[in-house]
Structure 1
């Protein structure tokens, strides 16, 4: 299998009806250079038209009616199907069921939805009528991350659609739907690939590292590094590498307690850690950043731990005191 195919993100799409947005994403995934593949189309409605289209195109499908069962049971069935299909992300495309808080929390940062307004305007229902009644010049659609607050997750992309003075909610909806079909595949592709984008990963690492007291950035061996202390006498506590020294990974290098811990991490969790060719002999471990499901809170914990290991005593004690409050 070509490397480009192996590295594509795996996506499960949840639908309840015709699945036109699902179809747009599916056909976009078949184009050269696509950054994701659709591994499952699942529905709470066994009669959903979109399921038939997915089957015709050779995509695995799953249907589980929500009627007569609890939300928890329905969510468990849908989530199990997504996990068994190997999905890295869940995309809601006209899925007309409210998901439990537990479900949403488990997929935090890995579940997307599209909403027919220019968020943060007009959360909830009747978005077209509300935009027309408000005299807005444009309506549109927003792709956003799903959180437990309705239509309030990070907005990833938007498309504007001009409102005609003669528009009705129905006529406006038709044009917004066309915009959605252009917007959703592109927003999905951009989002799932940013976890492999060195510039995006470095920006996340930089924000976490520089939030620690008295830190600054300095290049080291041609790559960004982060130090604590003065410009003159500061010590490195982290390095960012983009496949340097043949590692094959975009990674964060941080200090461990020593070789025993380093080797144990690499042996027990090879999908998350590796021994850096240049720094490994000194007890630094590589935390792999360009992988699905990366826990940024855990990355932050590694940065702080590594920072503490070299920070001046006064800073480390101050940090402990602040944390204890």
Structure 2
């Protein structure tokens, strides 16, 4: 696949979940590839496996280092590898708030319990002690709340009357190896799902003052102003007119700016059929590295270009404080 998501995996030990992600990535239809395996334990056996499979590695012991300093080094390794996402796979370090914030909605973790039950350690012993009929595993987004981010997937594992924490852990680990690659693949592939992309565009567009949605030529469009005199400031285009792009169409400042942007950054911008001749530029959304801050900035800029002066004056006044 030409535009697969680039994933960095953080490990501390054997790296069995990393291995599951790595071998799944070798399948021809997998939407991600592993570009880095990084560890806080230079002796991690998982690093040897990654090297044997031709994957770049990075290791740095956290001993004697502050949390923020160590996270910054790990972060730099991820950025140098060009990763779009981080998958924590048995990484036994709590990350700093700055690190979590930088990778918001792009960092996943797998946890050996059916969250929100039993965050933290000793999950299997706690499930058995509680008399639960099932344990399991969960994949979630990483936030500043320990094991508290949005749940992306779970698998239940039955607890038998003779289970010990060790025997239960072995079966849960097998479930983890099935769950994590599937959830990661589904999550990173959302960037090619027009329904997901339209929801993100809709939320950003309708967050602007006095905006509403109206269909135009079969596509979702967004207008500002009254129902009678409002003007379109954005359209959502799903591979229309034979293009391979799912894109946001917004008003450009001039045809010269449009042509220059498309020529200089063809992986981000394109000149849409029909609309391009009228000064609308397409921002390509179905990419592994879509910059949503850039998308938001373009929506605001396009909104300002057609919004009534009474609205832009209010925004300008608010910005001056």
TM range (shorter): 0.7 to 0.9
- The residue number in structure 2 matching 1:120 is 116
Separation in 1, partners of 2:112, 2:301: 43
Question: Structure 1 residues 172, 219: CA separation in 2 closer, same or farther (over 3 Å shift)?
Answer: same
Shift of the alpha carbon at 1:240? 0.7
Alignment of 1:160-239 (within 5 A): 160-239=156-235
* Residue of 89, 100, 103 corresponding to 1:104: 100
- The residue number in structure 2 matching 1:53 is 49
| Equivalent position SS for 1:276 | coil
- The residue number in structure 2 matching 1:13 is 9
User: Taking structure 2 as the reference length, what is the TM-score of the superposition?
Assistant: 0.88
Alignment of 1:78-97 (within 5 A): 78-97=74-93
1:240-298 deviation per Cα after TM superposition (whole angstroms, max 9, x unaligned) = 11222344321101123333443454455443333323222322221221223333344
Shift of the alpha carbon at 1:14? 1.3
User: Taking structure 1 as the reference length, what is the TM-score of the superposition?
Assistant: 0.87
Separation in 2, partners of 1:86, 1:297: 18
- The residue number in structure 1 matching 2:281 is 285
Separation in 1, partners of 2:82, 2:149: 24
Separation in 2, partners of 1:275, 1:40: 35
Separation in 2, partners of 1:76, 1:318: 40
| Equivalent position SS for 1:18 | coil
Question: Structure 1 residues 232, 149: CA separation in 2 closer, same or farther (over 3 Å shift)?
Answer: same
Shift of the alpha carbon at 1:40? 1.9
Between 57-66 and 228-237, report the one with greater CA deviation. Answer: 228-237
| Equivalent position SS for 2:192 | coil
| Equivalent position SS for 1:32 | coil
Size of the alignment, in residue pairs?
A: 321
Separation in 1, partners of 2:235, 2:196: 15
Shift of the alpha carbon at 1:321? 7.3
- The residue number in structure 2 matching 1:25 is 21
Between 18-27 and 297-306, report the one with greater CA deviation. Answer: 297-306
Unaligned runs of 5+ in 2: none
Separation in 2, partners of 1:175, 1:147: 27
Shift of the alpha carbon at 1:138? 2.4
- The residue number in structure 2 matching 1:143 is 139
Query: Is 2:237 aligned against 1:241?
Result: yes
Alignment of 1:26-41 (within 5 A): 26-41=22-37
